[in-house]
Amino acid sequence: MSGPRIFKVTDPALAKAPAPTVIEDDPTLPVDDEMIAPARRFSAFRALVWSALVSLIVLAVGVAAWDLFVSMAAKHVWLGWLIIVLIGIVLAGLALFVFRELAALSRLSKVDELRHLAHDAWEREDRWIADQVRGELESLYRHREDFDRARETIHLRKDDAPDAQTLLTLLEAESMRPLDARAADSARRGARGVAAATALLPSGLLDAAAVLYLNIRMVREIAVIYGGRAGWLGSWRLLKQVIVHLAATGVIALGDDFFSAILGGGALAKLSRRAGEGAINGALTARIGIAAMEVCRPLPFRALPKPSLRGIAASALTRFRDPVRKG
């Protein structure tokens, strides 16, 4: 075993080394859910079941396609060739669909990684990590013309940022401010559409289908605004992340006092049942929109304020409030 070593204080290796983490068993400290969450284990049996199911589906489709080709070719040769061409077109379309879905999932994963990297830079106050965030953000938006002005401003002022917080504040203020406004407007339009659909559609089943469709479309719009190209699988993944975020923050349920503050004192009681349900669903959609902004945003809300639920819901539900007050 080697003996103790002596290092100089000015040693560059020590200057770059991170400080040791202090672990304290204090019950009053906040607990990170990611640290206590159990690791998801690989299940060989589950993988075998899914592989068998996919194999059966592929085999059944292949046999059906072959039987169709044989039966058509027996009638006429050109019918067999037509079947081959049509199968080739379908396979090419499926391959393109799978490629686009994988690319969309990769884009969403990149946005998630960038947000976690930015959160890490804020927590550690590390200037080097903050500069990594700047590079990743510019790489994410390198093909977007609406980021050109922010890119120029960041390049001009990045050397004047002596610490991580100043640089991250510059990045968020210059790049996220216009995107936040567009995303908030998308959440506002989504809440207004859900409120109108709930108030006008006569069937509860149609209400549920319309609300689900409008919420998925709103989440996809917000993802595209922030740089995530969500496909069908990506949209369901985003919606799942939004629901998990709402459950974690514990603000899914909204009380009557909230709607009274938005619609005015006693106004909710004067609304018809369908209009009241529309106002409630619209407000919940606005909350989902804000959660989608937090999930899809490549930088966490730190320097800029997060849009308020009261402001978005109030502006979205104005058309439901004004007729009641006039009446």
42 pLDDT higher than 80: no
Q: Which of 158-167, 236-245, 282-291, 309-318 has the lowest mean pLDDT?
A: 236-245
Check: CB of residue 168 under 8 Å from CB of residue 118.
yes
Using only the alpha carbons of the chain, give its radius of gyration. 27
AA letter at 219: V
Tell me the pLDDT band of 230, cut-offs 50, 70 and 90: low
Output the six-digit token pair for 253: 């349920």
Tell me the pLDDT band of 259, cut-offs 50, 70 and 90: low
Annotated domain spans of the chain: 115-326
pLDDT value of position 33:
42
182 pLDDT higher than 90: yes
Cβ neighbours around 102 below 10 Å, total: 13
Check: CB of residue 288 under 8 Å from CB of residue 219.
yes
- For residue range 77-128, list pLDDT tens digits in order: 888 888 888 888 988 988 888 888 888 778 888 888 899 999 999 998 888 9
Tell me the pLDDT band of 271, cut-offs 50, 70 and 90: low
AA letter at 113: E
Helix (H, G, I), strand (E, B) or coil at 32: coil
pTM for the full predicted model: 0.68
* Cα(191)–Cα(320) distance, integer angstroms: 12
Where is pLDDT greater, at 32 or 140?
Answer: 140
Tell me the DSSP string of 173-210: HHHHHHHHHHHHHHHHHHHHHHHHHHHH---HHHHHHH
265 pLDDT higher than 50: no
